[in-house]
Amino acid sequence: MTMSALSRPGERDRLVVKFTQIDWTFAIALCLLAGTGALMMFSVAGSSWEPWAGAHLFRFGFCFVLMIALALFDVRVWFALAYPIYGIGLLLLLAVEFVGDTRMGATRWLDLGFMSFQPSEVMKVGIVLALARFYHGISAEDARLSWWLIIPALMIAAPVLLVAHQPDLGTAMLIALTGAAVVVLAGLSWKVIGAAVISFVAAVPIMVMFVLHEYQRKRVMTFLDPESDPSGSGYHILQSKIALGSGGFFGKGYGLGSQSQLNFLPEKHTDFIFATLAEEFGFLGCALVLALFAAVIFMALRTASLAHSHFGRLAAAGVTATFTLYVLINGAMVMGLAPVVGVPMPLLSYGGTVMLTVMIGWGLVQSVRVHRYTEVTSGKGAFV
């Protein structure tokens, strides 16, 4: 397939052609990451597909097919559904506020009868779509600094406040950072960025003292001095660091990680699966996995820069920013550089909701890639 073939009218809309336009290198990288996750789950379950490794691969398979399917949707469909998806997400968050299920002191779930479901996950993709849709319609000048920017500010603030109130600080922070990433990518003035960063840094201590819940404050405090209480709340961080450090350069060997096999490592198959990996495969294995993550991120960013439509660019970059944040926050947490906030390592960690969100996001990115030449038409300010 040559580029000239793609330029022929009608050729690009053929399904087979679209199929070939998917970034298959990227797809293989995703498979390798998910496969690594399953490998570690197999190890910590005592060389068993039950209960995690099998389910993880099955879910990934399903999500992978979903990603391919979503990649074939025209980017203009995504464009048209951007605001509706955001709107539904917001409504669901409001619904959680009033009729949500309370588990372990937090109201995050909606019981749909056959499954429970976290609307905050919808918002992770919804916020990217809605902001990309909005910035598609305004000029570079307006995106830099104008009164229009009150709208994206409100678009971000509404879901962040609702999620923070559940309370789910980790997800609220992720949504806020994802939104902020899109706003910055769209070309926000450096002066505003600087002012925002300064005011955020100033606000952190106040947030910690007055806004955070007791358990959240404790986590932050423990993070600052984890060894003060090694059997209490500092336990997670300390055990994770022991698992990492004891892995050394080559690791203890597959299935031989004492920290994870003997349950010293908490959440060994979910949030702390990277520590399991580090213990058994050492620095070498970790470096390879981090390189895979880097490849995924850079391939996705390349996709974003190829798109002809501003919507496509911002949507793809926004999804990539979310993914990057996941990887960096989880990595920092596992390595004792950040408080324990409950952010999983995408693709590696066990957990259906996050897998689904991430793969839907990659479906959007691939759709942008497949339809990178597609013109998305809309007038200035046409956000309704």
Partner 1 sequence: MSEPSIFFSEVNERQGAFHRRSFLLGGFAGVGLLALGGRLAHLQILEAQRYQKLSASNQFNFRLVPPPRGLIVDRNGAVLATNRPNFRLLVVKDGEHEPGETLKTLAHFVPLDEARQERLMREFERTPNRTPVSVMEDMTWEQFSAINVRAPEMPNVTADMGEVRVYPHGGAFAHVIGYVAKVNREDLTETGPNSEPILLHPGFRIGRQGVEKAFDLDLRGRTGAKKVEVDARGREIRNDTDGDIPAAPGKTVELTLDVDIQNRALEVMGDESGAIVVMDCRSGDLLCMVSAPSFDANRFVRGLSTAEYRALADYERRPLLDKAMSGTYPPGSTFKMTTALAALAAGINPEERIHCSGGWRFGGRTWRCWRHGGHGAQNMHDAIKNSCDVYFYQVALRMGPDHIARAAKALGFGQAFDIGIPGQRTGVVGSTEWKRTQVKRDPTWHPGDSVSYGIGQGYITANGLQLAVMTARLANGRKQLNPRLIKSVGGVEMPPGDEVPNLPFSQEHLDYVRSGMIAVANDRSGTAFRQSQLGLGDVLMAGKTGTAQVRSYDGVANRDSRSVRWGLKDHNLYVAFAPIDQPRYAISVIIQHGGLGGATAAAPRAREVMRVALLKDPEIRARIIQPMPLPDVTDLPPVGVAPEGAVVAPPPLAPGEPT
DSSP state of 73: S
| CA separation for the pair 376, 312 (Å, rounded) | 9
Smallest gap, in angstroms, from Cβ of residue 213 to partner 1?
Answer: 23
Q: Applying CB under 8 A, which of residues 31, 88, 151, 335 lies at the interface with partner 1? A: 335
C-beta closer to partner 1: residue 108 or 313: 313
Q: For partner 1, which is the closer residue by CB, 108 or 268?
A: 268
Per residue in 188-219, is it b (16+ CB within 10 Å) or e — as a string? beeeeeeeeeeeeeeeeeeeeeeebeeebebb
**Only segment of 42-50, 200-208, 215-223, 315-323 that touches partner 1 (CB under 8 A):** 315-323
Q: Which string of b and e fits 89-124 if b means at least 16 CB within 10 Å?
A: bbebbeebeeebeeeeebbbbbeeeeeebbbbbbbb
Choose, by CB under 8 A, the member of 166, 178, 259, 349 that binds partner 1: 259
Nearer of residues 85 and 180 to partner 1, judged by Cβ: 180
Strands (E), 26-114: 101-103, 106-111
CB of 100 to partner 1, least distance (A): 28
Q: Is 151 exposed, middle or buried (0-12, 13-18, 19+ CB in 10 A)?
A: middle
Is 12 a residue that touches partner 1 (CB under 8 A)? no
- Our finding on whether 44 is near partner 1 (CB under 8 A) is no
Does residue 139 touch partner 1 according to CB under 8 A? yes
Kindly state whether residue 47 participates in binding partner 1, applying the rule CB under 8 A.
no
Retrieve residue 170's tokens: 């980790």
Residue span 176-215 as binding mask against partner 1, x where in contact by CB under 8 A, dash where not: -----x--xxxx----------------------------
Closest to 319 in 3D by CA, of 279, 363, 275, 284: 363
Q: Which stretch binds partner 1 (CB under 8 A): 22-30, 102-110, 207-215, 283-291?
A: 283-291
Residue 107 interacting with partner 1 (CB under 8 A): no
Q: Is 99 in the site for partner 1 (CB under 8 A)?
A: no
For position 3 contacting partner 1 by CB under 8 A, the verdict is yes
**Binding partner 1 by CB under 8 A: which of 321, 348, 360, 368?**
321
Show Cβ contacts of residue 210 under 8 Å, excluding neighbours closer than 6 positions.
Answer: none
Residue 119 · residue 110 · CB < 8 Å: yes
- Contact between 143 and partner 1 per CB under 8 A: yes
Q: Could you say which residues in the range 209-248 bind partner 1, by CB under 8 A?
A: 239, 241-248
CA distance 98 to 51: 34
Q: Give every strand in the sheet of 116-117, ordered side by side.
A: 101-103, 106-111, 116-117
Is there binding between residue 120 and partner 1 (CB under 8 A)? Answer: no
Distance CA 54, CA 60 (A): 10
Cα(223)–Cα(337) distance, integer angstroms: 8
**Chain positions contacting partner 1, by CB under 8 A:** 2-4, 7, 139-141, 143-144, 181, 184-187, 239, 241-249, 258-259, 262-264, 278, 282-283, 286-287, 290, 293-294, 297-298, 301, 304-305, 308, 310, 313-314, 317, 320-321, 324, 327-328, 331-332, 335, 337, 373
